[in-house]
Structure 1
């Protein structure tokens, strides 16, 4: 296999690959499916092809294959050319990548191509920061990130604000997940510092709007949310939530994307979207009915019912509940044992379990973000959020 990979690398030189006609699939960047309302235009697609030429680093053969396949799917549709011979390694790899997209529409492939190029450009921008900075504990302002004994631990670190998620924290969690996906750890754990796991969105995000920039702010926030949730959908390693206290909003809805959720018996789970004039996110409109049934999901997502850790476990949202007095000891003893398992086997097992749902999850995420963008611009949402902030100010 090493010889095959070497020949493939030599024949796919990065300088040659910068030509737009050779662009588009890779398992390193799973499929991003966007709702039709957010589909990339032909101009976006052509701009992305131009940006490929500006990439300074070779993204690797897997990414080149994905770029190739998405380009072919976006311009020609599903693969209908004969399969190359088994010893024609390069063309067979291209054919497999293109054929693997199945009946994905040209519009979806075009959007996925644009998203992938944007990710590559963004990755190069963040890599201009000091190498390895993402994994250093002191780099983040809103997180504490450590890696030890095969476990990367991402701690939400705004205890005085109940770990409410600011715009900056969104960006930092994305960076932390990207770094964790590439490090040597076997598991990645997300938890909170203090009494709360996370109190959801910091609603002051809604007040940080430049004059006349409401629509742009809503659009930017929807894109950020979509990219944020996509990181959880695409995360390649086992991802565990250690819910150390109450969880609200997006910190709850994301739980359907984790592989294991451990909770203290003091935790509660609350999704008050309707109260704030908003709608579900984090793929919960798909994962919650699947996990707990449509009626229980409606109680939480539509009517904002707060449930206990025991109820969340009974409904399948939480894997196991532990007494608060022994929570940390029992959970970390178990996680340290898990971290000794063969890391590649862990990743492969997760991929097999999750791969058939990724396209559905990305489509759901895109649709939820598009709906939320409209909700954020509505008077109903604005009035609800301002009313909530006003009540908090009086307390």
Structure 2
């Protein structure tokens, strides 16, 4: 579910901009990002299953309460910001069918709050995956766009330009792959998913732990491929239509994307495919983000924080999840300029990457037994790829703050 949430509202818009401005050139980067996403999230799942601790809890146990509180507070702020972008995406979907912003934000907000308060990890996961599966509608949109094979090959053969605009968009695509909240969510989710067999204090029996690790790796690999396939589909759909007929068109909202695709796919088809796709992307992301923020802060504060507990037993955890959701919805409802607000959130997320990935790599070396750590070429590749992600994230921050993007 966290992988489906990775392709959120901001990611879809970033992919659409990539296709409109640079055709198929950024498709190659989406393929390369598959192993990056897998390596980071597999490391996260391994930490959770082997230690039986969530990310915030493990930071507190390894580095102390001050560092843990810093990480959790910044995470919660990032989650509220991310929720604003998801509700902005939902407002854009509502505008496609003429719904006022208040309705298109209030209805999914109430539905998300009801789902979270219902509790039960399995229930939340099933509903989240079912809604997130709507993202797969971006794939038929790419097929209906009829991309030319020669143009696709040409774009793949020239995957990089050295101008600031291209590099900035490349950095944005990289930054859209690793979100701070993904790490906190997945590390706690793999524990909550099998809470009966995995005791957080004593760890798993060896046989169960091995099975759990294998299953988590398969799930993470499938999710990494799936979410990047959706991103590629958006790039291709827009590159084959808008990028070919009107290169350089700026697309900064789901409504702009659907309107621009209308002449090529048909107005109703474009609105349906991209509207439902964005509905799935933004809704599952909002669900994951609200839980990630609540998990992270609850772990650090020492509160009960399992979805398998009732709201009466884990009152603080559920209150944080609801508060984050309502705050994000309220800001999105009242903010006059959702586009610029979304850009500000992306800057904040990119700036948090060094902290989040830095803690993740340190925990992998210090909190795991030797037999569960990375070694040799795998460790070297992971360090190189995460270093690249951190560098491009910081590049995005610098460029945006200096007004070059």
Higher strand share: 1
- Could you tell me the TM-score, scaled by structure 1's length? 0.26
Structure ID, larger Rg:
1
**Structure possessing the higher relative contact order (Cα contacts under 8 Å, 6 or more residues apart):** 2
TM-score, length basis structure 2: 0.25
- Higher helix proportion, which one? 2
